[in-house]
Amino acid sequence: LRTAAVVLAAGSGKRMESSTKKQYMLIAGKPVIYYSLKTFQESFVDEIVLVVSPGDAMYCKKEIVEKYGFSKVQHIVEGGKERYHSVAIGLDSISSCDFVFIHDGARPVVTEDILERALCCVREYEACVVGMPVKDTIKIADREGNIASTPERKLVWTIQTPQAFALPLIKGAYQNLLQKEKELLKAGISVTDDAMVIETLTGHPVRLVEGSYENIKITTPEDIQIAEHLLLHK
């Protein structure tokens, strides 16, 4: 059984409003993406593809991959404009494996337990995403800013990464996505996660598996402090 990970770090971090891209901001002296790479390096995963912004590959190779001895990082590739472009490019450099874990490099608090749960789940269902049931009640708004409806809380989950898939299933879905990109854009569908690609382009069900409330994504400035606290007390 061979597994690979695609770790995404090719975003520009607009919502962080920082001069250093969020994936390279320091938490306890190490860049944000160090933490998830370390978790994958020490896990059952066999190979890692790191997807970075054009121009960042040399910095990542020298200052992160070589410096910290992440020997499982076998490719560092340049990502694309949207997250799904970066994923498609990452998937292209994976050769032969059974399952692939797609992970946001901006989620440093992922743990080996989460990876184990996702592995167990993907082996059974071929497609799964980690997430957590919401704690707050969620409302769906209308375009005017009024409440349109209230989904049943126990059926609402927030979605995290990793998202894990059988390789042929996810590769096929992404190829299909890129072929239909124009139509989807016209229909106003914006693809923000990998499960959506499976949902929209295949009939394959995607299983939800428990991540953790601590597996946050670094998005805005306060998230750096929260992640630092979580990582130091892990």
Radius of gyration of the CA atoms of the chain, in A: 17
Interaction between residue 40 and ligand CTP (CB under 6 A): no
Q: d(Cα 108, Cα 167) in Å, to the nearest integer?
A: 24
- Which are the contacts of 140, defined by CB distance < 8 A and separation ≥ 6? 147, 148, 149, 150, 151
CB of 54 to ligand CTP, least distance (A): 11
The residue nearest ligand CTP at its CB is: 11
Q: d(Cα 226, Cα 100) in Å, to the nearest integer?
A: 28
Among 51, 119, 121, 224, binds ligand CTP (CB under 6 A): 51
Contact letters for ligand CTP, residues 20-39 (x by CB under 6 A): ---x----------------
Q: Of the listed pieces 12-20, 109-117, 176-184, 222-230, which binds ligand CTP according to CB under 6 A?
A: 12-20
- Report the site for ligand CTP in 72-91 (rule: CB under 6 A): 79-83, 86
- Report the site for ligand CTP in 175-234 (rule: CB under 6 A): 217, 219
CB of 3 to ligand CTP, least distance (A): 20
Q: Pick the closer one to ligand CTP by CB: 14 or 186.
A: 14
CB of 110 to ligand CTP, least distance (A): 12
Q: Pick the closer one to ligand CTP by CB: 104 or 126.
A: 104
- Which residue from 78, 3, 9, 77 is spatially nearest to 37, judged by alpha carbons? 9
- Which residue from 104, 84, 82 is spatially nearest to 216, judged by alpha carbons? 104
Q: Of the listed pieces 11-19, 116-124, 134-142, 171-179, which binds ligand CTP according to CB under 6 A?
A: 11-19
Contact present, 113 and 100 (Cβ < 8 Å): no
CB of 104 to ligand CTP, least distance (A): 4
Binding site for ligand CTP (CB under 6 A): 8-15, 23, 51, 79-83, 86, 104-106, 217, 219
